[in-house]
Structure 1
Amino acid sequence: MGISNLIALLSGVALFLFGMTLMGDGLKKVAGNKLELVLYKLSGSPLKGVLLGTGVTAIIQSSSATSVMVVGFVNSGMMQVKQAIGIVMGAILGTSVTGWIICLSSLEGGAGWVSLLSTSTLTGIVAVAGIILRMFCKHQTKRHVGDILLGFAVLMFGMQAMSSSVAPLQESETFLGLLTTFSNPILGILVGLVFTCVLQSASAAVGILQALAATGVITFSVAYPLVMGIAVGAAMPVLLSSLGANVNGKRTAFVYLLIDVLGAVIWGVLFYGANALLHFSFLDMTMSAVSIAFLNTLFRFATVLILTPFIGMLERQICRLFRDTEPAGPEKEDFARLEARFIEHPAVAIEQCRQALCNMALEAKANLEDAYYLIGNYQEKQFHFIAQREDIIDKYEDKLGSYLIKLTGKELSEQQNKDVTKFLHAIGDVERIGDHAMNIAECAKEIAEKNIVFSEEATRELNTMFAAVQEITYNAITAFTTGDLELAYRIEPLEELIDSLCDEMKLHHVDRLQRGICQLTQGFVFNDLLTNYERVADHCSNLAVAMIELESDSFDTHEYLISLKKVRSHSFDQYYEDYRKKFSLPEV
């Protein structure tokens, strides 16, 4: 085997890996980016986890990708380690499907119409169909189907290139002698392990083994330890993905290695122990691509079958190896949701952003209510608590904004684009509501330090105003977090009423100053409070408008508000009148 054969082998491996990735990505996109959410939502029991892990891995053609995704789920707190173990087991079994796809490359052509069943003919047909769909179809789903077909064709070409490059090895005495040493179980497992760690793909390692089997030089005694080593080496990409993960993320990654090591130990000891007594005659049987695929599937299936009942015990052992650190606060758990691993899986990433943004909005709402309570009930400890929560809200904005910007660089569906746009607009408004809550807390501090006391009339008006602000904040955040458009349409009438209340309250305050009921020192704080309340209502209005406009496939806040006030629909007037009665100011 010369240097040209080695280059051809590496080229075949490169084509194989690229084709496998292209086919898997196409299958995920045709599925509508829902595979990740299916894993997350439907993996309630160990058996469900195993079945789902097997199915998803069979589709995306990578146990590492499935397991890395699950490490992200656990690291972000979306999934428990026990759930993850079942999915990892399924991923270990599901990756064997690639070996059966590779078996198609061993189809031989015959005479006449039978030649259509040859690998080269089938691959050519699939490639032509794929490129037609990819280049000439405008519908996104059809183009993704084209990617699947092209990925399959490239994978087959890669397999053929690998098979052709290793064909001369069947006449190499040196190589045949080297293969004989691999029949030593320990050496064979180590070679398979190292080889897979280098390739970072168990499917590619099995593919090369199948290519070698096509030359007729691989026996069962050589293939069996290599298959076990390949299974153990497949844990390397998953272990690397856990770098920087929390304790539970590391546990999930390590369980992949533990399952494969236990499988190799259990079936290695049992097989070679039985062979020492029974002297199996099939050890010298020549392996084909099909028999390699069968051996690989059987080994993985047997491992999953025997370990599935012991998922609870595996979890306990993993937890003993990786002990818990101090529990994180709620906001850190939310930040952990924004996993870099999920960027490649937009459906999951957007769902995580939605949950984090909802919690951010609830924090801002809580700060607003706590800040108002400080007026007349000032406590330094509570003021610092509000300031700390405001810092957390600012961190939410930074983390969410950066994460959503990264998501915009990925291929998103129409609905996903809408969601990302809505979230990007919303985080600024929610953060500003938090800022105004902090401003109100500072006003409360000034009132306490200067011993400012408002008149009974002013206090009643401020209470009425805050009740209106509290309602618009609740409605806006509830509408946003639940997607309630009907509730969103009620925001703008209330915002307009709050603007009117502010103007009316300022006039009343000037009248009280003239009558000597209020002092000038009270006026500055009074106006500051009104300004902040009015700004909170404005940002609530922005949240509602973002929802309404994105549902109508446009985003022009200014145009929407102008048209809304010109038309003055019946519902707008009705909502405005209802709120005017509910939040009417006391008569002077």
Structure 2
Amino acid sequence: MGQNIGTCVTAMISSVGANKNAKRAAMVHLSFNVIGTAVWLTFFCLVKAIWSPALLNEGASLFGIAVAHSVFNVLCTILMLPLSGFLERLVNRLVPDAKQPEIQSELDERLLATPPIALERCHEVAADMAQTAVSALKISVSCLQGDVPELAVSVREKEEKTDYYEDILGTYLVKLSEKQISASDSAEAAKLLKIIGDFERISDHAVNLLESAEEMREKGLEFTEAAASELNVITSAVKEILDLSLAAFLSDDLEAASMVEPLEQVIDQLKEQMRTRHILRMQQGACSIEAGFIWSDLLTSLERTSDHCSNIAGCVIDMAHHSMNLHESLRSVRNDSEDFQRNFRTYAEKYHFGA
């Protein structure tokens, strides 16, 4: 009986630093053997007190130990099978759900012993983080067009999840950088640290957009038809730049990365034109000053989102050219006059305001 409990030590040690489900599996193993031992040891002592057969006074043989071990486990299985629900509730209480959202590709501290594998796992988690942040921003844009209460919960949950991603990834990457890793892996880890910061800020801007939409709803404010039309144009451009930067990061797509900077410049121009147009509307009395403050906040969040997309694309270009000079990479994209200007004109024609 003691040997059965002792076999749980290996599982318990292996679960240290593992995810929640691994810890629960080890706890099921331990609970099964401890409960089984307690029940059958009590039964054994009672039987021995009432009737003590000569067999119990004989020395243990190898065959006898094997038989006793097998019989014990069969009896434990028969005992615990009807109590599987109780065992599940017990383990869930002993290993409760974490306060933070469960992450499928949880980072495992033991992988730090093999840096290339640990870095690959970081990529998987960062990819999930990127998709979550982009999704949050797109949902918040939908909030500007209505359905605020229905979508607000989703945006905030995704922002909290993205914050958690940045926290565990940042900590893990710092630990990884302290290991003996190659120069290329070190540069890749540095790139990831930069990029996860940008994706986290994108999710923050998603909440900022949501709060602006909520403020509009609470105060009963509405933009003019012209302002709403302009907002649709710039939000469409922001959605596209999000898709481009996400594709560039997930697939190391240099073509997508090179398209980000021209579109970011177009978004900057759209923002300035929208500020000017809105000032004219306020001067004409078509829009209130209070709505003007919210308008300014919206434009700032959208423009800064495009800036973070530009940073992400710049990091992808950096790594392709084995450089870590982000500003130099962005400058080289702009200075590539033929491609840049052609892409800039394409986006300027695609995203513009009517007369």
**Shorter-chain TM-score above 0.5:** yes
Is the partner of 1:337 in helix, strand or coil? coil
CA distance in 1, matches of 2:15, 2:348: 57
Partner of 2:349: 581
CA distance in 1, matches of 2:276, 2:296: 11
Partner of 1:482: 251
Q: Is the 8 A contact 2:261 2:334 kept in 1?
A: no
Partner of 2:169: 400
Partner of 2:156: 387
Any gaps of 5 or more consecutive residues in structure 2?
A: 30-61, 68-80
Alpha-carbon offset, residue 457 of structure 1: 1.0
Give the TM-score, by structure 1 length: 0.47
Partner of 1:433: 202
Q: Is the 8 A contact 1:397 1:428 kept in 2?
A: yes
Q: Taking CA–CA contacts closer than 8 Å with sequence separation of 6 or more, which of the two structures ends up with the larger relative contact order?
A: 2
CA distance in 1, matches of 2:65, 2:6: 20
Which stretches of structure 1, 4 residues or longer, exceed 6 Å deviation after superposition? 232-235, 252-255, 270-273, 326-329
CA distance in 2, matches of 1:370, 1:356: 21
Q: Is the 8 A contact 1:335 1:396 kept in 2?
A: no
Alpha-carbon offset, residue 405 of structure 1: 0.5
Asked if 1:457 corresponds to 2:226, the answer is: yes
| CA root-mean-square deviation | 3.6
- Tell which structure's C-alpha radius of gyration is larger: 1
CA distance in 1, matches of 2:153, 2:92: 27
Identity, in percent, stands at 33
CA distance in 1, matches of 2:105, 2:317: 30
1:558 to 314, 327, 335: 327
CA distance in 2, matches of 1:390, 1:360: 10
Alpha-carbon offset, residue 346 of structure 1: 1.8
Is the partner of 2:220 in helix, strand or coil? coil
Is the partner of 1:334 in helix, strand or coil? coil
Q: Is the 8 A contact 1:460 1:586 kept in 2?
A: no
CA distance in 1, matches of 2:23, 2:164: 23
Partner of 2:282: 513
Is the partner of 2:103 in helix, strand or coil? helix
Partner of 2:22: 248
Partner of 1:143: none
Count residues with an aligned counterpart: 308
Asked if 1:540 corresponds to 2:285, the answer is: no
Summarize the alignment of residues 54-65 of structure 1 with structure 2, pairs less than 5 Å apart. none
CA distance in 1, matches of 2:66, 2:144: 79
Name the aligned partner's letter for residue 479 of structure 1.
Answer: A
Q: Is the 8 A contact 2:205 2:305 kept in 1?
A: yes
CA distance in 2, matches of 1:397, 1:358: 12
Alpha-carbon offset, residue 388 of structure 1: 3.0
1:367 to 116, 133, 136: 136
Partner of 2:339: 571
Alpha-carbon offset, residue 418 of structure 1: 2.9
Moved more, 245-254 or 449-458: 245-254
Any gaps of 5 or more consecutive residues in structure 1?
A: 1-189, 194-231, 256-267, 274-316
Judged with a 3 Å threshold, the aligned counterparts in structure 2 of structure 1 residues 336 and 491 are, in CA distance, closer, same or farther, namely: closer
CA distance in 2, matches of 1:325, 1:351: 31
Q: Is the 8 A contact 1:502 1:534 kept in 2?
A: yes
Is the partner of 2:221 in helix, strand or coil? coil
Summarize the alignment of residues 130-529 of structure 1 with structure 2, pairs less than 5 Å apart. 236=9, 239-243=12-16, 245=18, 246-249=20-23, 251=25, 269=63, 323=88, 325=92, 332-334=101-103, 337-380=106-149, 382-529=151-298
Judged with a 3 Å threshold, the aligned counterparts in structure 2 of structure 1 residues 370 and 567 are, in CA distance, closer, same or farther, namely: closer
Judged with a 3 Å threshold, the aligned counterparts in structure 2 of structure 1 residues 333 and 512 are, in CA distance, closer, same or farther, namely: same
Q: Is the 8 A contact 2:136 2:159 kept in 1?
A: yes
Alpha-carbon offset, residue 322 of structure 1: 7.0
Judged with a 3 Å threshold, the aligned counterparts in structure 2 of structure 1 residues 420 and 492 are, in CA distance, closer, same or farther, namely: same
Give the TM-score, by structure 2 length: 0.75
Judged with a 3 Å threshold, the aligned counterparts in structure 2 of structure 1 residues 388 and 237 are, in CA distance, closer, same or farther, namely: same
